[in-house]
């Protein structure tokens, strides 16, 4: 494999006495799309949050685009510049317009002039197909539109990797497709993506690899074709039996 953009090596994390991530090792190639699935409580969010430095870990290493995540705040800032994150619950600022949500970090974190930040944000709002909502507030648009704003907001920082944590789980069913379609577009443009989701149609369509986690461990990782046709472990079979 060419130099990976994300390297997670022998990662271990505890919440107090609870061993939440157990010896996780995972390399992500540039442009690779990884879907992470597994039962509730298996550590998927914790893993994703470690990669974006939202959580500390005790053992092992995480390297993103050559930057090793350590205890220093400088590397935390550097890594966050490289990594965009989209959460289940959108996390938009309700008192800011859609456009302001997308320009806040570029202006205040990156010191980009307001006009330039707005032009970039509009470009991404067009990409997620809601430029007409730029001057609305989050409460005035649908959940699916809010999640597309969250994607545009993350893209406005020009990340090299996009992390998604169950981006469609909080949506009404009729809004799931518009968000997945946006993510498929992004994948087709070559974005490196790590996506926690149980949308197995998305995994089949887009993923290069599906990673299955259970009880803090990676149980297996395989191409979607192999993963769905020939799951190797009893726990994977059980999980697929429950969700498919
Ligand atoms: P998943 O995203 O796969 O559902 P999580 O990563 O959210 O799993 O959580 C993994 C386990 O860690 C769960 O048992 C959860 O209860 C526990 N956990 C998550 N966050 C915390 C925390 N801040 N403190 C203690 N335990 C936590
Ligand atoms: Mg989770």
pLDDT digits (tens, 9 = 90+) for 118-160: 999 999 999 999 999 999 999 999 999 999 999 999 999 999 9
* Cα 216 to ligand 2 centroid, rounded to whole Å: 12
The closest-lying atom of ligand 1 relative to the alpha carbon of residue 165 is 2
Whole-number average pLDDT of the chain = 95
pLDDT of residue 73: 67
Mean pLDDT of 223-233: 96
**Ligand 1 binding residues, C-beta < 6 A:** 15, 18, 20, 38, 40-46
Q: What is the pTM of this model?
A: 0.96
Ligand nearest to the CA of 49: 1
The region that residue 73 occupies, defined by phi over 0 for left and psi between -120 and 50 for alpha, beta otherwise, is alpha
Element containing residue 242 per DSSP (H, E): helix 234-243
Angle, helices 98-108 vs 143-155, to 10°: value is: 20
Which residue's CA is the closest to the ligand 1 atom numbered 11? 41
Give the integer Cα–Cα distance in Å for 162 and 190: 11
Show the CA angle centred on residue 14, arms to residues 85 and 52, nearest 5°. Answer: 15
Residue nearest to atom 13 of ligand 1 (CA): 41
How many Cβ atoms are within 10 Å of 242's Cβ, its own excluded? 9
Q: Which residue has the CA at smallest separation from atom 20 of ligand 1?
A: 46
Residue 1, pLDDT > 80, answer: no
pLDDT average, residue stretch 88-107: 96
Q: Which residue has the tokens 């456009």?
A: 99
pLDDT interval class at 244 (50, 70, 90): confident
Express each pLDDT in 42-89 by its tens digit: 999 999 999 999 999 999 999 999 999 976 767 888 888 899 999 999
Q: Which ligand is nearest to the CA of 13?
A: 1
Start-to-end Cα distance in the chain = 31
């Amino acid at each position: 494999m060419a130099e990976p953009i994300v390297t997670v090596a022998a990662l271990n994390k505890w919440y107090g006495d609870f061993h939440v991530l157990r010896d996780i090792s995972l390399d992500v190639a540039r442009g690779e799309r990884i879907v992470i699935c597994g039962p509730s409580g298996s550590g998927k969010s914790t893993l994703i949050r470690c990669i974006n430095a939202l959580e500390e870990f005790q053992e092992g290493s995480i390297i993103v685009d050559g930057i090793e995540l350590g205890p220093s705040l400088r590397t935390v800032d550097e890594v966050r510049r490289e990594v965009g994150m989209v959460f289940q619950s959108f996390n938009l600022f309700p008192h800011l317009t859609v456009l302001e949500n997308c320009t806040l970090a570029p202006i205040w974190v990156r010191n980009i002039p307001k006009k330039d930040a707005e032009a970039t944000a509009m470009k991404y709002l067009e990409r997620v197909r809601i430029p007409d909502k730029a001057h609305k507030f989050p409460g005035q648009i649908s959940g699916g539109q809010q999640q597309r704003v969250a994607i545009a907001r993350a893209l406005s920082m020009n990340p090299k990797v996009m992390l998604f944590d169950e981006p469609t789980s909080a949506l009404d069913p009729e809004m799931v497709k518009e968000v997945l379609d946006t993510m498929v577009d992004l994948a087709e443009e070559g974005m490196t993506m790590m996506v926690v989701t149980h949308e197995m149609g998305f995994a089949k369509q887009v993923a290069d690899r599906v990673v299955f986690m259970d009880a803090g461990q990676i149980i297996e990782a395989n191409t979607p074709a192999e993963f769905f046709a020939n799951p190797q472990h009893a726990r994977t079979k059980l999980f697929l039996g429950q969700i498919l």
